[in-house]
Amino acid sequence: MSAEAGLFVCDADQLVDGGRGIRFPVLVYGQPATGFVVRFAGKPYAYLNRCAHVPIELDWKEGDFFESSGLYLMCATHGAVYEPESGRCAGGPCRGGRLLPIGVVEQDGKIFWQPDQQIRAPL
């Protein structure tokens, strides 16, 4: 892994378009949380696992972020739906909100996430 790539999440072949995502631990403003990465239209996308409507985790059960069509990410609690490629609210109670993106890179058959000012690696 190169320093530019970031922190290892999983092997790239673990992510299938519109399929299960992979969770990973993060710190948000110093507080423990989880991020997740999914694949959509051939690309990996990563977000903080926190609904824009109410700050709770999205997944139905661990790793299940997509709704049944595989076209949108969905909050299991209140049904807010998000565009996987942008994190923008596409319907439901999120009302124009968006998921907090996490930088992600696919390199050499592996997926890496990139810490920033808000989202850092756990200690």
pTM reported for the whole predicted model: 0.94
Torsion of CA 40, 43, 49, 51, to 10 degrees: -50
Q: Please report the domains of the chain, with CATH numbers, ordered by start residue.
A: 7-120 (2.102.10.10)
Q: What is the pLDDT along the chain (123 residues), one digit of tens a residue?
A: 455 679 999 999 999 999 999 999 999 988 999 999 999 999 999 999 999 988 899 998 999 999 999 999 999 998 999 999 999 999 999 888 999 999 999 999 999 999 999 999 997
Please give the structure tokens belonging to residue 107. 């390199």
What distance in Å separates the CA atoms of residue 75 and residue 52, rounded to the nearest whole number? 9
Question: Closest by alpha carbon to 111, among 51, 20, 24?
Answer: 24
